[in-house]
A and B are shown apart, each in its own frame.
Chain A
Amino acid sequence: QLQLQESGPGLVKPSETLPLTCTVSGGSIRSSTYYWGWIRQPPGRGLEWIGTIYYSGSTYYNPSLKSRVTISVDTSKNQFSLKLTSVTAADTAMYYCARHIYSNIYYAWFDPWGQGTLVTVSS
């Protein structure tokens, strides 16, 4: 059964870079069928897609965050990572990683999701 687990600092200072890693277990990140994504959810609010990566390193970012986001992959560790630069309090959120299904030319739905990790931006 595929499982994903986020890890990273729970607290990041304003203007600094938020680094998170997602470790995939129970399956290979090198699958030709799947992509891998990051989604976030500010406290008490809805969901926002951040970006997606393929094991080859190809990326696909939310245009609203693109200037601050880098997603990378380490196939040797079965991990992919997120870096979000110049963070502010508005970036405080639960951050989820998930398998991103590609279907009929669309980067489509997410399944399954990791349990999430809460990141607070505060000095």
Chain B
Amino acid sequence: EIVMTQSPATLSVSPGERATLSCRASQSVSSNLAWYQQKPGQAPRLLIYGASTRATGIPARFSGSGSGTEFTLTISSLQSEDFAVYYCQQYHNWLTFGGGTKVEIK
């Protein structure tokens, strides 16, 4: 099983600042990685697939990068609605999710 490790567990950021979230795979997943946003009491929402392709309707302030074992989700200027938990998911070998990064207001 490919283990996905996200860091940090919690990220404290002020509105308008940049947030950088990391996701590391225990072995290469090529570019077969997705990112999701989950707000309290809601289902996850797809943000990014193929490591860097934004899903339909996702604002341009969200960007994904990386390949192999190291991936990054960047939120260029945090808006109030962006404070949430973010998960990465690999689909290269079966499907596994990371433990999540909570982005909270500083």
In the complex, how many residue pairs between chain A and chain B have their CB atoms under 8 Å apart?
Answer: 57
> How extensive is the interface on chain A, given as a class?
20 to 34
Within 73-123 of A, Cβ neighbours of B (below 8 Å) are at: 96, 98, 101, 103, 106-116
Set of chain A residues within 8 Å of B91, measured between Cβ atoms: 106-109
Tell which of B1, B95, B97 touches A46, judged by Cβ atoms closer than 8 Å: B97
Q: B94: which A residues are within 8 A, CB to CB?
A: 49, 62-63
Interface of chain B, helix or strand or loop or mixed?
loop
Q: Does A48 contact B (CB under 8 A)?
A: yes
B61 close to chain A: CB less than 8 A:
no
A49 touches B96 (CB 8 A): yes
Interface residue tally for chain B (C-beta within 8 Å): 23
- A contact set with B: CB distance below 8 Å: 46-49, 62-64, 96, 98, 101, 103, 106-116
Which residue numbers of B lie inside 8 Å of A, CB to CB?
1, 32, 34, 36, 42-46, 49-50, 55, 87, 89, 91-92, 94-100
